[in-house]
A = this chain, B = another copy of it.
Amino acid sequence: MAGGSQQLKKQHPLQRRSADMKIGMIGLGRMGGNMADRLRAGGHEVVGYDLDPQSGRDVDSIQALVEALETPRIIWVMVPAGKPTQSTMDQLASLLSDDDLIVDGGNTRFADDQMHARMLEPKGIHLVDVGTSNGIWGKEKGYALMVGGTDQDVERVMPILQTLKPEGENGLVHAGGTGAGHYTKMVHNGIEYGMMQALAEGYAVMDASDLVKDPGQVMASWREGSVINSWLLDLLVKALKEDPGLKHIAGKANESGEAKWMIEDALELGVPTPVTTASLYARQDSQIADPTTMKVVSALRKEFGGHPVEQE
């Protein structure tokens, strides 16, 4: 593997952006695996670990990963938010030493970053939190990176961040102290919810109106010269070409947690976020088969007006 990535290194323009580093990567799923590939292509050495023996991991335990790195270590954690990340942090807290540094590149809630930092600090272990965007396109085009941590810690991992980010002057920001990376990623996703719902409402209205021949064609026309020109518009046009009328997609959308967290923090800050909230509620509604609220409204209508109700 080292040989292969040396070869890539010679041809790859990314190498000139950064000093080569050696890091550990925990989590080699779609995101972590692609990131490891991009880092190796950029000239870094990556020791990878994953729970799954089929993942192409280099070592078969976190302890082995820790032992494979020289101190002071840098370990990028790319596992699902919540319990998997918590458990990884707990293990690393007991295995790492003074001056080692953990990068949490997952979707951890910003308040949890701050809790992790408080847990790691007495042991001299540093924490940098990185929110990433660009999903499946990142391996090739780079990941938008939002970073939280001290100036010193962020500087230390900069060569890695430089390799992961897209080319060009944008795509990387040191947003603030611990938690700021995931906080700004959370806000990014909240905006994403609102933009998607805005496009969805526009499409749905055109689709319901007799006046519009082909809503997908209209949306395609907006890709040039219009104010709402955007990557999401491009993607929607692409999806509508692949599946006109979206006949093969169910009218249900999941929520990933981040809009919810943004709304909760906005509630505490006293900043109304009606569009983000409406976008989240629309997704929640789509997941509820038989909403209790509507049972109540229907029961009331029956009581006062004798309106017929649908029986179950």
Which A residues fall within an 8 A CB radius of B?
30, 110, 133-138, 141-146, 148, 165-177, 179-180, 183-184, 187-188, 190-209, 211-213, 217-218, 220-233, 235-236, 238-240, 243, 246-254, 260, 262-307, 309-312
Nearest CB of chain B from residue A208's CB, rounded to whole Å: 4
- In the complex formed, the residue of B with least CB distance to A268 is B260
In the complex, A118→B156 CA distance in Å? 42
Please state if B191 and A306 are interface contacts (CB–CB under 8 Å): no
Contact of A138 among B144, B225, B297 (CB under 8 A): B225
In the complex, A171→B221 CA distance in Å? 4
Assuming A227-B192, A281-B274, is B30 touching A298 (CB within 8 A)?
Answer: no
Nearest CB of chain B from residue A25's CB, rounded to whole Å: 19
Please state if B310 and A250 are interface contacts (CB–CB under 8 Å): yes
Task: Collect the chain B residues with CB atoms within 8 Å of residue A196's CB.
Answer: 296-297, 300-301
Instruction: Sort A-B residue pairs by CB-CB distance and give the 7 closest, nearest first.
Output: A194-B198, A230-B230, A173-B221, A144-B225, A171-B224, A200-B296, A250-B310
Please state if A239 and B302 are interface contacts (CB–CB under 8 Å): yes
In the complex, A229→B188 CA distance in Å? 10
Assuming A194-B197, A293-B197, A312-B247, is B184 touching A224 (CB within 8 A)?
Answer: no
Nearest CB of chain B from residue A55's CB, rounded to whole Å: 17
Please state if A183 and B201 are interface contacts (CB–CB under 8 Å): no
Task: Collect the chain B residues with CB atoms within 8 Å of residue A172's CB.
Answer: 221
Nearest CB of chain B from residue A38's CB, rounded to whole Å: 12
- In the complex formed, the residue of B with least CB distance to A310 is B250
Contact of A175 among B193, B218, B311 (CB under 8 A): B218
- In the complex formed, the residue of B with least CB distance to A233 is B230
Please state if B294 and A218 are interface contacts (CB–CB under 8 Å): no
- In the complex formed, the residue of B with least CB distance to A173 is B221
